[in-house]
Amino acid sequence: MNSELNEAAPTVSVVVPVYGVEDYLQECIESVLCQTHESLELVLVIDGSPDGSLEIAESYAQSDSRVVVISQANQGVSCALNTGLRRASGEYVMFLSGDDFWVEPDGLRILLEEAQEVEQVDVIIFDSLFYDDASRDVRPADVPWVQGELRGRSNWFVLPYMMAKRDVRPSACMKVMRREFLIANDLLFRPGVHHEDIEWFMRLVCVPARYSYVPTAMYAYRQGRPGQASRSVPVEALIGQIEFVLEAFGRARRNGLIWTSEFSKAYADYCASRYANSLIISGGLGRHERNRVKEALRSGRFVLENDGYWQGKWVRRCVSIVGVSLATRLLYLYSSWRERARGRKLGAMSRRGSDMTGDK
C-alpha cells in the first residue's frame, strides 16, 4: 500500500536532521510512520552522525518506500534542515528533531484537515509536550490558545497575539508550512547559528502569510537524555545571537516596520526580549567570557529603548542603574533563583498529586 501511495506526490514531507541519536531514532521514525494520514514522505538527513543512525534509517527505507535517506558530511543542524527542505516534495513541510517524537497518531490528519479548511493557509501552529527521558513523565509545554482567534489571520496579527499572551513560539517543529511558501521567500535556516529557529522565526514573521492554529499537542520534546546538548551557550554562539537580533531590529527599522503599527511594536518588543535573554544568559559565564560578550551587549542597548515588553522593561531599568557588566550578573542570579523556586513549586505540586492518587 505504501508503494502505491508513493506514486503520487505526498501531501506532507517530514524533515528530520539526525546526529548522534541512534537510541531514539526508531521511536522518532515510528511516530511518523504510524500516522493515520499515510500520504507522507519522511526525509531523514544523516548529518555525518558517528553512531548507527544511518543503518537504522536505511533499514526503514528498505521496508517503507515513504522513507528517504540522505547522508552528508557533518554541516550542522541548519544545513541538514535545508538539505531536507530542498529534497522535500510534499505540498506541506514539517520538521522533527531526531531525538523527539510525535505523540498523536491522528495528529497529522487533524492538521491537514485544517489546511484544507482554511483557504490559502501558509502556516499552521500546534501545541507540544515535554517528555522527561528519565521519569517518562509528560507535561504540557504550551497553554492552548483559542483556535478561532487565529484561523485565517495574517502574520501582522499573529506576532502581536503571541506577545500579548507572553507565549511566542519560534520553533519550526511546531508548525505545518506550505513548501512553496518557504522556498519562494527564501526561508531557509542560517548555517552556523545557535538556536537557528529564533533567527529563522524573526524572518518568518516579517513575510506576508496566512496563519491558523490547531490545539493538538502533537510534538514531544525529549528532555534530560544523556549526551543532550547543554543549556549553556558557547561565547561565540551568544555573541552571534546578539548580532542577529540587532541585525533583525535594524532591518525592520530600515524597512519602516518599527513603531508604525501593532505588528511593528510587537516585533520591536520581541527583539528587546531576545536581547534581554542574551544579557541574562551572559551573566552565567566566567569573567573572561563575560568581557568578550560585553561589547556586543553595549552596542545593542538601544534595542531596550522600546518599553512595550515586560522583560525588556526591567532589564533596561537594571542596566540604566548599574551598567551592563553588573546587570548581567545580577539578572542571571535572579533568573536562576526564580527557576529553582519554580522547580520546587512544580515538584511539590507533583508530590501532592501523587499522594492524592495513591501513586508511590
Reduce the DSSP state of residue 172 to 3 states and report it: helix
Residue 80 has pLDDT above 50, yes or no: yes
Q: What confidence tier does 57 reach under pLDDT thresholds 50, 70, 90?
A: very high
Buried b (16+ CB within 10 A) or exposed e, 157-187: bbbbbbbeeeebbbbbbbbbbbbebbeeeeb
Average pLDDT for 328-337: 75
Q: Which helix (H) or strand (E) holds 210?
A: strand 210-223
CATH of 2-223, one of 3.40.50.300, 3.40.50.620, 3.90.550.10, 3.20.20.240: 3.90.550.10
Report pLDDT for 228.
53
pLDDT band, residue 227 (cuts 50/70/90): low
The string of DSSP letters for 246-292 reads HHHHHHHHHTT-TTSSHHHHHHHHHHHHHHHHHHHHHTTS-HHHHHH
The C-alpha cell 515513504 sits at 66
CA 245/CA 324 separation, integer angstroms = 17
Per-residue model confidence as pLDDT tens digits over 252-283:
888 776 656 889 889 988 988 888 888 888 88
Grid cell 478561532 in the structure block, residue: 148
β-strands 101-102, 138-140 pairing: unpaired
Per the structure block, which three cell numbers stand in for 126? 500546534
pTM exceeding 0.75: yes
Sheet strands (E) in 65-187: 67-72, 92-95, 101-102, 123-132, 138-140, 153-154, 175-178
The answer to whether residue 10 scores a pLDDT higher than 50 is: yes
Query: What's the pLDDT band for 4 if we cut at 50, 70, 90?
Result: very low
What does the pLDDT look like over 35-54, one tens digit per residue? 999 999 999 999 999 999 99
Name the least confident of 8-17, 57-66, 82-91, 294-303: 294-303
Work out the average pLDDT over 328-348.
67
pLDDT value of residue 325: 72
The mean of the pLDDT values for the chain is 86
The C-alpha atoms of residue 2 and residue 6 are separated, in whole angstroms, by 6
Q: What three-state secondary structure class fits 296?
A: helix
